[in-house]
Structure 1
Amino acid sequence: MSDATSSNEPSKTTGNWNATVGSIKATLGDATGISSLSQAGNEQRAAGNAEYKMAQAQEYATGTADRLEGKMDRVLGAVTGDKEQEAKGFAQEEKGKAQQAANS
């Protein structure tokens, strides 16, 4: 599916996929009375939801790191008068804020 899947990193896309497929299996199992299908679906849905939450937490942490590193560069650039470093730091800080917002 994605690079995250091949490297065993949690993926929001894969997590959503498994949660959706699991829900469908559980619904079909419940409707047909096939308890093993229902159970497998519930397990797949739970695993998918857990993977999504793990990926979300990782992306939030990455956003936090970007935000802090950007702030340090921005402040250092301002103190030393290096406008380029200050601008790059500001951009990285904003990227981190956006990533945190998307994963909170």
Structure 2
Amino acid sequence: MSTDPSKTSGQFHSTKGTVKESLGNAVGSTNLQQKGKTEHAAGETEYNAARAKGYAEGTGDRVTGKKDQVVGAVTGDRSQEASGNLRQDKGEAKQEVNRSMF
């Protein structure tokens, strides 16, 4: 089992915690309310950590892609240049998906 943060898992636990908290409010259970708040907060933390990780990975792809693109252009290696362009584009897309946090 992976210990990496997951946006999907984070959203699941955030939503599940909100449901627990609401149910606790409805039935008057402070214990269930607190468990819900705790699970919601943990889910939000995991979701945001996954977004930060994705953004950082995108940054790495952009930097490596740009380096490969420049080296390929300077040396005349069109394959490396094209590969660098693709990796840079991939990094930009990954950052964009995870950008709203920053």
Residue 15 of structure 1 aligns with an amino acid whose one-letter code is: G
Instruction: Choose the corresponding residue for 1:40, options 12, 30, 35.
Output: 35
Match of 2:98 in 1: 103
Residue 74 of structure 1 aligns with an amino acid whose one-letter code is: Q
Instruction: Choose the corresponding residue for 1:52, options 22, 47, 50.
Output: 47
Instruction: Choose the corresponding residue for 2:70, options 58, 64, 75.
Output: 75
The aligned runs of 1:1-20 (5 Å cut-off) are: 6-20=1-15
Match of 1:65 in 2: 60
Instruction: Provide the alpha-carbon RMSD of the alignment.
Output: 0.4
Query: Normalising by structure 2, what TM-score?
Result: 0.96
1:7, distance to aligned residue in structure 2 (A):
1.7
Unaligned stretches of 5+ residues in structure 2 = none
Unaligned stretches of 5+ residues in structure 1 = 1-5
1:102 and 1:57 map into 2 onto residues whose CA distance is 11
2:7 and 2:88 map into 1 onto residues whose CA distance is 23
SS at match of 2:3: coil
1:33 and 1:7 map into 2 onto residues whose CA distance is 36
2:2 and 2:8 map into 1 onto residues whose CA distance is 14
The 4+ residue runs of structure 1 with deviation greater than 6 A are: none
Match of 1:87 in 2: 82
Query: Normalising by structure 1, what TM-score?
Result: 0.94
